[in-house]
A and B are shown apart, each in its own frame.
Chain A
């Protein structure tokens, strides 16, 4: 195993982590600010990917496709918040899970109704395709580097939004004490719609970015959703910083574990058993990580005392 290969895998882990961060940021904001478990977050990711694929197919422009994914997911998020989610804030988590699970089914079948059952085509634009050679001779796809960059920029933008702007102050205040900021005259329902749409837009962006290198199909959001929940549990619910650290941890653990565990087992047993056992254990690794983090810090790495 050469150093170059290890570095390349670290980059892969980073890219995966950054993508998870885009998903987890919205999820953790919505949970932190409104106390809402939103299972339909993965559906918004799918909406973003489908909007991007449709616009890219019609116009041929990847930038327009990204804009469309943000707009479509934000609009879908705002619409869902106003019509359904708003009624769930005072209900207990079980009701929220039930209602947002229903939303998953509605979004999935709605998408199938509009776009059909077959995966859509969305490709990396010409100017971002192919590998580039990094210092040290690592050949790495330019598009994946772009995802890392976009994710880090969005992350920085979110920190700035939360820490430095008026809206950010309101969001933080809303997390700390909902009744009090309502009493201070902040329009809480508008704030909630805004936060929800923001989270949805981030999920939609993640869907569009990833859709270009994966398959744009109905149900694509649910596997990512599970990972995003793992991320926010590890990072601490409601914390953007936690989401970032958690996402990178999960991304790196998952990628590096999948590569190195089978190799490690191969030192001790015959290859066929080693690959199959290593692969099985690698897929459990992030849950083991989650359990360990929760053992040491029950409210997550950056979680307040919930």
Chain B
């Protein structure tokens, strides 16, 4: 086995000398078809924007579509690790897919950098030295929303989320920071498209505000129906229901809504300005937070590759952990469990011309780390 490895290394080095073959192979598994494809497309586009801007011919990216199915993600991961021999993996959007792929990939000596999913288990008990989360731990944006609710003087929230693990993480995160009372707590069906029943309950509950975590199409449906119902309580949510990809589909119904995000296109730093204009120029649309996470993930990998060879795992890991790259979020650093310690902002949905987008109105939580780091023993 050792002989085989050094043979492979020798081949890689000689290939590099010939300039024919990349010596760092990155495998990206993400969702490019089906209902959740918008998120995967954004992560991929942001990631590839950074890779192409770097202009390195020693980095090769293999991209596969997981169709949002855990079983196909696992299959693709096996194939990437065993026959493609990738060094680094990334790309997974959904927490349930991440849970299926990440532990076995890191156990096989591959680096995994998450551009989106951050399930609590992987931040705590089952953290791994080769697993880095570049986006956030799942609870983070919801915690910031809870903190914002206190600042805004909200005392009686009605909270709802889909009945699946990330939905429960979301409401747990909100309640961790929120000090007020609850007018009601509802778990909806995952993929539910009609919220008339829930909205009627909100109307009858006497709440002073609504907090909801309904990613993707679920959030579009909820907001349109909420706006049409005549209930006019203030709504707070995480960025997932107000990202650039779906705001146009929601339309004016989302105007003025406060939401929490670790990134926005108006964050004032040079890296972000470059990113936003380059993304718009290349793809003809505004970037979303998913795109920013893909872009940061790629730049983090590139910064580590500048310092160390990926085959020298300890050096490469240290280079990743140092996170010396220009993040579009401004300051970026990893905590002890390789999850970000970062600011989370409060944004408001606004209209610029005929495009709906967000602007930052406050900082929700500063230098916020996740609640599971203490459970992690690496």
Contact = CB atoms under 8 A, between A and B. Distances in A.
Contacts of A130: 228, 230
Interface residues of B, number: 40
Contacts, number: 129
Interface stretch (B133-141, B241-249, B266-274, B319-327): B241-249
Nearest to A2: B204
A213 interface: yes
Contacts of A157: none
Contact of B248 (A121, A143, A214, A259): A121
Contact of B220 (A119, A139, A280): A119
Contact of B197 (A220, A259, A276, A280): A259
B185 A119 contact: no
Given A214-B221, A272-B185, A275-B187, A259 B201 contact: yes
B228 A141 contact: yes
A124 B228 CA distance: 8
Query: Which of B168, B224, B251 has the most CB atoms of chain A within a 10 A radius of its CB?
Result: B224
B225 A262 contact: no
A214 B219 CA distance: 9
Contacts of A118: 38, 245-246, 248-249
Interface in B205-245: 216-218, 220-221, 224-225, 228-230, 245
B109 interface: no
Interface in A249-285: 255, 258-259, 262, 271-272, 275-276, 279-280, 282-283
Given A108-B33, A117-B41, A258 B197 contact: yes
B200 A120 contact: no
A129 B228 CA distance: 6
Interface stretch (A8-16, A62-70, A189-197): A8-16
Contacts of B253: 123
Contact of A262 (B186, B230, B245): B186
A255 B33 CA distance: 30
Interface in B76-113: none
A131 B249 contact: no
Contact of A12 (B188, B200, B204, B216): B200
A231 to B, nearest CB: 15
Contacts of B311: none
B248 A215 contact: no
B37 A213 contact: no
A213 B224 contact: yes
B224 A214 contact: yes
Interface in B114-145: none
Contact of B186 (A117, A123, A279): A279
10 contacts: A5-B200, A12-B200, A15-B196, A131-B228, A144-B196, A215-B246, A219-B35, A255-B196, A258-B189, A283-B163
